[in-house]
């Protein structure tokens, strides 16, 4: 077994230290080392977006980032989105629009939508569809997800 | 049975009860389960599509530091010739066991042959490469018609075709032949002015749920086995594992975690018994997760098929006869959904003379599993294309010809049953009057198509318990996995009975030790049957509460009535108490109230759908774009309309993927060459417009609120609707799925 490296990073605003093997992805670290299981593994090769997180302001598939690469960086995950007593407007919009069925893709979609609205607060339907094309949902047909993101943009 | 009164809760759109957990990442799915001392399991899979296993040597893997145990088929008890009924029909236990871990032969690339438990997943993966398996490679059979040839290589030397009660003498890949016949088809075709006959091919497609299969198992020292997993049915996991391991159901507890999609693909067990075997061998909890290629290569897709449909009609458009030949790939072991396909194929029509032949054929591909209305989409692709062609040749509007021949109450389906009240006509009429259908459609290479579909839906067993809380709320305990909002649709039915808001119900999906038997979330049955059980449990609570009010007021129970959330005395005394206030007085009137409801209802109502689609065909690239999509469906009664719309939209989009992109692509050796989400291309949101879901409500008399199942039928019409739209756009009948750009370019003569 390879030696484990010490990594210090910021996750959802808190300084976090962990040990990980060089081959462990950020997704593995989040889920297996830090027990932040909101990011999901759907494909482990960057095709489904279920593991989407925001790394230094940029949307990434955490399965394609190594844990050691997050040294000194800042990671936002689904667990950090809601305030203790209040959901984020995107989360509210997903609930109001019934934009989830099984819910496995939901954390990824919400993080992806947040990254979009952070840089483009008033996207068109086409811009929403273009941006979210890296996230797969097999239950909803995307209709209500796209509406939820447009609603969240209007609400913010 | 049908309640004809105004509803307060049913038909509203409350926030689903599990919603906050699911938008905050707190909901725990199968792979999220953690336990102290957890080991990680990994499965070694066959690199060959068809081979005999000569030997398996696990010694090098066992010697790797960190490896705690290795299992093979030798660790599974000998099943003999036993046939087990696991609630979805009888299954040959040997097939079930061999699909878990192959014993003598591997029958598809990806077939499990051994499994390792180690201290971390990477070590387990490495250990798999150290297992030495010697194979004698055999020629694979990869296509249904090839497999039916008399000289085709045989997958199973003991399979002999059973055909209409007779068993053949020679071995064959054709496991069974079924036939449904109504009237005199020869006479019917003789009465026709026009006969259209076409052949169709559909590819192998996968359910494509985003969450891979997962299981964690642990044996206690007292022999109690616990399995945490995502599944469509905790009880069916318990039964299958009990049969495979020859272990009593009373010693197995299955804990259903949240499930990330299933669509029929998470009913059969794959790695759950493997995790149990590894847990037994190591004495530790063992978690086994599949990766995405394992899901494609090692779990049930839905069959490829070869279909021939012939239909005849008078020049006025009356369909006089119909004939279908359905040959379905079962995959490695018998059991394709050709039966349901044969039941559904002509069900939107009342046809006097029908003959349907179905063949269940084994091939060297993964054992197929149900996928949303299993069998019906393949069949409808054929029949609904032929109906369109008849309408076009007769110059009749395609929805008009459907109305002319529509099935209605009292008509007989070709496989026997007589239709109860159904909404076939109503869905076609709603499509016909929809602004989409009447909108102009004239641009070059743009086309519009329609198709209808049917799925019978099922009932099966469900149990619900309700515990009444002192603050006027209830805790509702159920055993149906919630894949798409059924906690809400079940809770709302109990709330309606008790006159309380949906938010006053706390629904929980619990393990197999904690609720009565409940069949799978499948067959579009959950809101219907488990909802029915919730209705019964709430009625039980209501009866007990009436008794308490009677006791409180010292009147006869017959003199207490309950309406709008209030109990009142109707004879003499003017007493009144709200449901909530009475809940606070249970202690003084006799103690807690627990209501229960169990059902196995026979009145599942069949569902009809009619879809309208506009496409644009790119002449240069062969790519088909969906411009507009309208899906009309009879829901019976939509308990939570948003989630009914969601089912309709999701089913339609899976159908769009099946129609345009999705298929298993095999090389000659039988290796799937596109076993990833990059190459097995499911629709993304960029590929789609909004999907207009139109709910029609023709109440099902077999349910107190009129519910029909809604989950499955929306995947039935899209393939034919899109093929018919492509024909409208470019004048070419596409008869092979998927209708991918290369097939379109070939059909247009461009390549």
- Best probe of the A interface among B213, B627, B685, by most A CBs < 10 A, is B685
User: What confidence category does residue B574 fall into, taking pLDDT thresholds of 50, 70 and 90?
Assistant: confident
Among residues 58-97 of chain A, which lie with CB inside 8 Å of chain B?
77-79, 81-82, 87, 91, 94-97
Does residue B332 contact residue B367 with C-beta atoms inside 8 Å? yes
- Tell me how far the alpha carbon of residue A55 is from its chain's centroid: 9
**CA separation for the pair A125, B610 (Å, rounded):** 27
Fold of the domain spanning B33-138+211-260+266-298: Aldehyde Oxidoreductase; domain 3 (3.90.1170)
Neighbouring residues of A29: CB distance < 8 A, sequence distance ≥ 6: A7, A18, A20, A67, A70
**CA separation for the pair B673, B446 (Å, rounded):** 33
Respond yes or no on whether ipTM tops 0.90. Answer: yes
pLDDT greater than 90 at residue B442: no
Q: Edge-to-edge strands of the sheet including A58-61?
A: A14-20, A5-11, A74-76, A52-55, A58-61
B378-395 mean pLDDT:
98
- Nearest Cα to Cα of residue B631 among B607, B656, B613: B613
pLDDT greater than 90 at residue B3: no
**pLDDT computed for residue B541 by the predictor:** 98
* Any A CB within 8 A of B463 CB: no
pLDDT tens per residue, range A11-39: 999 999 999 999 999 999 999 999 999 99
Q: B484–A102: do the CB atoms touch at under 8 Å?
A: yes
Does residue B620 contact residue B748 with C-beta atoms inside 8 Å? no
Q: In CATH terms, are B19-27+459-599 and B305-457+605-747 the same topology? A: yes
B219-248 mean pLDDT:
97
Q: How much of chain B, in percent, has pLDDT values that exceed 90? A: 95
**pLDDT computed for residue B85 by the predictor:** 64
pLDDT tens per residue, range B624-656: 999 999 999 999 999 999 999 999 999 999 999
- Nearest Cα to Cα of residue B420 among B347, B319, B354: B347
Fold of the domain spanning A89-155: DNA polymerase; domain 1 (1.10.150)
Q: A82–B24: do the CB atoms touch at under 8 Å?
A: yes
pLDDT greater than 80 at residue B433: yes
Does residue B413 contact residue B341 with C-beta atoms inside 8 Å? no
DSSP string, A64-83: GSBGGGGTT-EEE-GGGTSB
* Any A CB within 8 A of B26 CB: yes
**pLDDT computed for residue B89 by the predictor:** 55
**pLDDT computed for residue B220 by the predictor:** 95
- pTM greater than 0.95 (yes/no): yes
pLDDT greater than 70 at residue B582: yes
Q: Does domain A5-80 have CATH number 3.30.2270.10?
A: no
User: What confidence category does residue B299 fall into, taking pLDDT thresholds of 50, 70 and 90?
Assistant: very high
Q: B650–A140: do the CB atoms touch at under 8 Å?
A: yes
Query: Which residues of B470-531 form beta strands (DSSP E)?
Result: 474-478, 505-509
pLDDT tens per residue, range B61-89: 999 999 999 999 999 998 777 777 655 55
Q: What is the mean pLDDT of chain B?
A: 96
**pLDDT computed for residue B86 by the predictor:** 59
- For residue B257, which residues of chain A lie inside 8 Å, CB to CB? none
**pLDDT computed for residue B22 by the predictor:** 98
**pLDDT computed for residue B90 by the predictor:** 61
Among residues 94-123 of chain A, which lie with CB inside 8 Å of chain B?
94-98, 100-107, 110
> What are the residue boundaries of the structural domains of chain A, listed by start?
5-80, 89-155
**pLDDT computed for residue B738 by the predictor:** 98
Q: A38–B26: do the CB atoms touch at under 8 Å?
A: yes
Q: A141–B691: do the CB atoms touch at under 8 Å?
A: yes
pLDDT greater than 70 at residue B245: yes
- Best probe of the B interface among A102, A113, A148, by most B CBs < 10 A, is A102
pLDDT greater than 70 at residue B4: no
Q: A146–B649: do the CB atoms touch at under 8 Å?
A: no
> What are the residue boundaries of the structural domains of chain B, listed by start?
19-27+459-599, 33-138+211-260+266-298, 305-457+605-747
The CATH number, out of the four listed (2.40.30.20, 3.30.365.10, 3.40.50.10540, 1.10.443.10), of the domain defined by the range B305-457+605-747: 3.30.365.10
User: What confidence category does residue B20 fall into, taking pLDDT thresholds of 50, 70 and 90?
Assistant: very high
- Best probe of the B interface among A37, A93, A103, by most B CBs < 10 A, is A103
Q: Which helix (H) or strand (E) holds B593?
A: none
**pLDDT computed for residue A144 by the predictor:** 98
pLDDT greater than 90 at residue B288: yes
* Any A CB within 8 A of B685 CB: yes
pLDDT tens per residue, range B84-140: 765 555 678 889 999 999 999 999 999 999 999 999 999 999 999 999 999 999 999
Q: Edge-to-edge strands of the sheet including B576-578?
A: B560-563, B566-569, B576-578
Q: Which residues pair with B614 in a beta bridge?
A: B448, B628
pLDDT greater than 70 at residue B472: yes
Fold of the domain spanning B19-27+459-599: Aldehyde Oxidoreductase; domain 4 (3.30.365)
Is the N-terminal amide bond of B738 cis, ω within 30° of 0?
A: yes
Positions of chain A with pLDDT under 50:
none
* Any A CB within 8 A of B294 CB: no
- For residue B23, which residues of chain A lie inside 8 Å, CB to CB? 87, 91, 94-95, 100, 103, 106-107, 110
Among residues 440-459 of chain B, which lie with CB inside 8 Å of chain A?
none
């Amino acid at each position: 077994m390879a030696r484990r490296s010490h990594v210090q990073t910021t996750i959802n605003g808190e300084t976090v230290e962990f040990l990980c093997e060089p081959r462990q992805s950020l997704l593995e670290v989040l889920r297996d080392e830090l027990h932040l299981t909101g990011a999901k593994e759907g494909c482990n090769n960057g095709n489904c977006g279920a593991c989407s997180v925001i790394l230094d302001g940029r949307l990434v598939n955490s399965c394609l980032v190594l844990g050691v690469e997050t040294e000194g960086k800042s990671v936002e995950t689904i667990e950090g989105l809601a305030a203790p007593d209040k959901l984020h407007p995107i989360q509210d919009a997903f609930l109001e629009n019934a934009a989830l069925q099984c819910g496995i893709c939901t954390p990824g979609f919400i993080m992806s939508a947040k990254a979009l609205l952070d840089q483009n607060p008033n996207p068109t339907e086409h811009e929403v569809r273009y941006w979210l094309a890296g996230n797969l949902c097999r239950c909803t047909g995307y209709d209500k997800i796209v509406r939820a993101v447009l609603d969240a943009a209007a609400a913010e | 049975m049908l309640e004809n009164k105004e509803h307060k809760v049913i038909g509203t759109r409350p926030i689903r009860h599990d919603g906050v957990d699911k938008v905050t990442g707190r909901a725990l799915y199968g792979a999220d389960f953690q336990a102290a001392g957890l080991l990680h399991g990994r499965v070694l899979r066959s690199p060959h599509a068809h081979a005999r296993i000569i030997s398996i040597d696990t010694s090098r893997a066992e010697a790797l530091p960190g490896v705690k145990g290795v299992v093979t088929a030798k660790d599974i008890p000998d099943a003999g010739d036993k046939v087990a009924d696991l609630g979805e029909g009888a299954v040959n236990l040997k097939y079930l066991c061999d699909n878990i871990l192959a014993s003598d032969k591997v029958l598809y690339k990806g077939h499990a042959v051994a499994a390792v438990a180690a201290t971390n997943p990477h070590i387990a993966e490495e250990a798999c490469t150290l297992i030495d398996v010697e194979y004698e490679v055999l020629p694979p059979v990869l296509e249904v018609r090839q497999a039916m040839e008399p000289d085709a290589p045989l997958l199973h030397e003991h399979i002999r075709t059973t055909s209409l009660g007779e068993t053949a003498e020679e071995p064959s890949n054709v496991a069974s032949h079924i036939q449904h016949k109504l009237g005199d088809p020869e006479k019917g075709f003789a009465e026709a002015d026009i006969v259209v006959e076409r052949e169709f091919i559909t590819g192998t497609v996968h359910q494509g749920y985003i969450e891979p299969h997962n299981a964690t198992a642990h044996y206690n020292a007292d022999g109690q086995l616990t399995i945490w997993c995502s599944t469509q049915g905790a009880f069916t996991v318990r039964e299958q594992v009990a049969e495979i391991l020859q272990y009593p159901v009373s010693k197995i507890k299955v804990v259903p975690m949240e499930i990330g999609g299933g669509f029929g693909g998470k009913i059969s067990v794959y790695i759950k018994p493997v995790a149990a075997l590894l847990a037994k061998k190591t004495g530790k909890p063992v978690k086994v997760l599949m990766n995405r290629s394992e899901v494609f290569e090692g779990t049930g897709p839905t069959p490829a098929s070869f279909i021939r449909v012939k239909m005849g009609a008078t020049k006025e458009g009356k369909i006089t006869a119909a004939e279908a030949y359905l040959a379905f790939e079962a995959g490695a072991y018998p059991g394709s959904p050709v039966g349901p396909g044969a039941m559904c194929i002509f069900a939107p029509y009342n046809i006097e003379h029908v003959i349907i032949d179905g063949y269940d054929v084994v091939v060297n591909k993964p054992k197929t599993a149900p996928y949303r209305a299993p069998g019906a989409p393949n069949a409808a692709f054929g029949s609904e294309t032929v109906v369109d062609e008849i309408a076009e040749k007769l110059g009749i509007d395609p929805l008009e010809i459907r109305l002319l021949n529509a099935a209605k109450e009292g008509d007989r389906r070709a496989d026997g049953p007589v239709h109860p009240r159904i909404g076939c006509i109503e869905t076609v009429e709603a499509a016909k009057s929809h602004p989409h259908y009447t909108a102009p459609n004239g641009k070059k290479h743009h086309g519009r198509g329609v198709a209808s579909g049917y799925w019978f839906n099922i009932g099966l067993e469900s149990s619900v318990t309700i515990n009444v809380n002192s603050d006027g709320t209830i805790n509702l305990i159920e055993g149906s996995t919630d894949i798409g909002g059924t906690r809400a649709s079940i809770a709302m039915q109990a709330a309606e009975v008790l006159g309380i808001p949906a938010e006053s119900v706390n629904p929980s999906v619990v393990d197999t030790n904690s609720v009565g038997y409940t069949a799978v979330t499948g067959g579009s049955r959950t809101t219907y049957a488990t909802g029915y059980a919730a209705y019964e449990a709430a009625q039980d609570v209501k009866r007990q509460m009436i008794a308490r009010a009677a006791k409180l007021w010292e009147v006869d129970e017959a003199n207490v009535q309950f309406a709008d959330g209030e109990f009142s005395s109707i004879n003499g005394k003017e007493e009144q108490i709200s449901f909530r206030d009475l809940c606070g007085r249970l202690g003084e009137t006799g103690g807690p109230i627990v209501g229960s409801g169990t059902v196995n209802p026979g009145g599942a109502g069949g569902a009809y759908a009619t879809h309208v689609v506009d496409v644009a065909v790119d002449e240069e690239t062969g790519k088909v774009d969906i411009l507009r999509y309208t899906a009309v469906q009879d829901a019976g009664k939509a308990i939570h309309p948003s989630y009914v719309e969601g089912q309709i939209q999701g089913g339609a989009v899976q159908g769009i993927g099946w129609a345009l992109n999705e298929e298993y692509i095999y090389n000659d050796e039988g290796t799937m060459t596109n076993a990833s989400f990059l190459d097995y291309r499911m629709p993304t949101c960029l590929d789609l417009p909004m999907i207009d879901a139109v709910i029609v409500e023709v109440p099902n008399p077999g349910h107190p609120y009129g519910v029909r199942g809604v989950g499955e039928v929306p995947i039935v019409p899209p393939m034919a609707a899109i093929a018919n739209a492509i024909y409208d756009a470019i004048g070419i009948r596409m008869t092979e799925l998927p209708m991918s750009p290369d097939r379109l370019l070939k059909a247009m003569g461009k390549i």
